[in-house]
A and B are shown apart, each in its own frame.
Chain A
Amino acid sequence: MFGLCNTTEKYTKNFITLQRCMISTIYVLLEYYGHSEMQSTSQIPNNYDIDYENLIFYKNFQRIQPSQNQTTPNLAKYWITYIKPQDSNIINNLIKDKFKDRCDLLKHLKTFMKVKVDDTIYLKALLCDCESVNYTEIKEIVSQALIESKGITQKIKIEKADIPLNKPFDKDLNKKWSSEIWPIVWKGNPMIQELHESYKSFKVENDLKYIKLITELANSKHEDNQLPVVTIFVDPKIDRIISTQLDTRSPQNPIKHSIMNCIEEIAENECCRRKTASEEDSKASSNNYLCLNYHVYTTHEPCTMCSMALLHSRIDKLVYIKDSTITGSIGRESGNGYMIHLSCSLNWKFESFKYIGDQYNAPSIDEYIEV
């Protein structure tokens, strides 16, 4: 009975692998054809308004991401352990139980890597990053898991291994990294996959509505000595504006940039609310990331300080209108080229778009000023 199950599983797995192969062949083929062919293929839906070459959604929003032709892996150190193949379930359960957080970042990596040590086959199992857990702790966690499920203590070998955080863009590179670094799942060109994921959650009417609003505010409200920079924070779940702020810097306080003002306003409001709320209410809102998954619309590409403030606040998406070519910290060519929204991706990252349509415009400002 057990054996039968295993065989069926094996066939299903093979079938899936076969399907994957076919899909990847299609993607490889896609790379040789132009962009028009791409859209007519069944793999890429006809009704998606995406310019794949320039990464533009609905002709108006350009996604800010690194150039896709990166051939070098961005490596991170992860803990691995050696197990016998029959113990793979224990590790799978352990990961589900203790290292849930890592899953999203490492979806592209396989959990196990087959290795031969003295003619015996072992699996190297990927555990968690070396920064969040130290050697003693990880060793303890693994040995606990093994004792609990097998009832015996055994020698455990923990090592550090390099793993690639970025996905290889084509199949050959996938093969190369898989054999040289760590096995990677190939599900077709990751750029196209990622673009589609991002596109599916994109609500263009809302984005245009908020872009219109901030440009109206920036073009009307400011006084002579005030910078015409406007930011709004939106909770996309309820499609409601949570904070609207202008740049209010003055000689007395030069760092009141619009984004910093929004974050401050949201925090102060919530502090007030919690003070007046009933005990039960305040218990219910124990989340201290107040801007978690918010959408942020701003007229000018933010400076390094503000971009990093957005990352610390764990927003989901940023949309800006005007490039800050010297002081900006998001655009591929801006400032020092940091692309802050992706720079600490082990911890958090957010999507960034530039509005490139000609319907709405933000006022020009001195390009040496950080906003």
Chain B
Amino acid sequence: MGKNEIPVHYFWMKEALKVAEEALTVKEVPVACIYVYKGKIIARGFNQTNITLNGTRHAEFEGFKTIRELYPESFEEVLKETDLYVTVEPCIMCASLLRQIQIRRVFFGCANERFGGNGSVFKVNNDFPKSQDIDREKLKRSYTVYPGILNKDAVIMLRKFYLLENEKSPNLKDKKYRKLELQEFPILNYSSFLTKSEFTMLFGKEYEFIYDENQFLEFNETGELTNEATGSGLKRVKLSDNSFNI
């Protein structure tokens, strides 16, 4: 781990967003993911709840299915060294799936405020049962999540979908609801998802201010961070706009 890795995460998330584009074209909620093992994409998946009529067929499940087919004998071992890049924070169900299948790390774009299982509602990825007499060795190990990679792009993807939906809805005939909002974005509260030391381990101590000020991660074309400290140390506050089961 370290900041040299940052462009890698940037490019993998770009790949996940490409998969989300595919979801849009088939009118599925555009949440998508890729699984990366030893520097290679081994599975892609996007949400398929509409076409399958199954509310549990989220992107993470689709990708896991591919991995089982690809490595029928060894997928458990493979997953222990696999990272997931998903455009939206996994919901509670998927967060539990990912822990049960022992994913190594999870990178995501925007938060899932209503259903998120990596910090928004619960921290399924690193909670442990309350009761005292438990053999921790026998529990599934926790995993770390890194939020905010291409946060705005993930939100724009969802908004594009909502616009398509609104066009169908008879209640919102007004043209004003058909404009893609590109100025306001929900602010990510990093401390809900990971500790400051987990953040600086990945992004480097010099970018600690991003965590402190809840800044959006800003990248240049080669995937390097371009954020600058405002010096005010002010925490930005949250606005939000999601309304689908994701």
* A interface residue numbers (CB < 8 A to B): 98, 130-137, 140, 144, 252-255, 260, 263-264, 267-268, 270-271, 274, 288-291, 303-305, 308-309, 312-314, 325-326, 329, 333, 335-338, 340, 343-344, 346-347, 368, 370
Contact = CB atoms under 8 A, between A and B. Distances in A.
A308 B100 contact: no
Interface in B47-85: 49-50, 52-56, 64, 68, 72, 76
B159 to A, nearest CB: 10
Contacts of B56: 260, 263-264, 309, 312-313
B177 A336 contact: no
B239 interface: yes
Contact of A271 (B52, B93, B138): B52
14 contacts: A130-B240, A131-B114, A134-B239, A136-B181, A255-B64, A309-B56, A312-B245, A335-B130, A336-B128, A340-B92, A344-B121, A347-B114, A347-B245, A368-B135
Contacts of A344: 92, 114-115, 121
Contact of A134 (B49, B135, B241): B241
A336 B53 contact: no
Contact of B53 (A254, A271, A309, A337): A271
A263 B54 contact: yes
A104 B76 CA distance: 44
B101 interface: yes
Interface of B: 49-50, 52-56, 64, 68, 72, 76, 91-97, 100-101, 113-115, 117, 121-122, 124, 127-131, 134-135, 138-139, 171, 174, 176-177, 181, 184, 239-243, 245
Contacts of B64: 255
A335 B93 contact: no
Contacts of B121: 343-344
Nearest to A348: B245
Given A255-B97, A335-B129, A344-B121, A270 B68 contact: no
B245 to A, nearest CB: 6
A148 to B, nearest CB: 13
A336 B100 contact: no
Contacts of A274: 53
A137 B130 CA distance: 43
A254 to B, nearest CB: 7
B97 A305 contact: yes
A268 B56 CA distance: 13
B54 to A, nearest CB: 4
Nearest to A271: B53
Closest 10 CB pairs of A and B: A308-B93, A267-B54, A304-B96, A305-B96, A312-B55, A308-B92, A132-B243, A336-B127, A267-B53, A309-B56
Contacts of A337: 130
Contacts of A312: 55-56, 91, 93, 245
Nearest to B52: A267
Contacts of A336: 122, 124, 127-130
A325 B124 CA distance: 16
A144 B128 CA distance: 50
A346 B120 CA distance: 14
Given A130-B240, A263-B55, A336-B129, A304 B124 contact: yes
Contacts of A267: 52-54
A312 to B, nearest CB: 4
A268 B129 CA distance: 35
Contacts of A368: 135, 138-139
Given A253-B68, A254-B100, A326 B114 contact: no
Nearest to B58: A312
A252 B72 contact: yes
Contact of A288 (B53, B76, B127): B53
A305 B95 CA distance: 8
A140 B56 CA distance: 35
A339 to B, nearest CB: 11
A338 B122 CA distance: 8
A270 B53 contact: yes
B136 to A, nearest CB: 11
Nearest to A291: B55
A26 to B, nearest CB: 38
Nearest to A265: B54
A288 B50 contact: yes
Given A137-B177, A263-B56, A264-B54, A131 B92 contact: no
A259 to B, nearest CB: 9
B53 A290 contact: yes
A312 B92 CA distance: 10
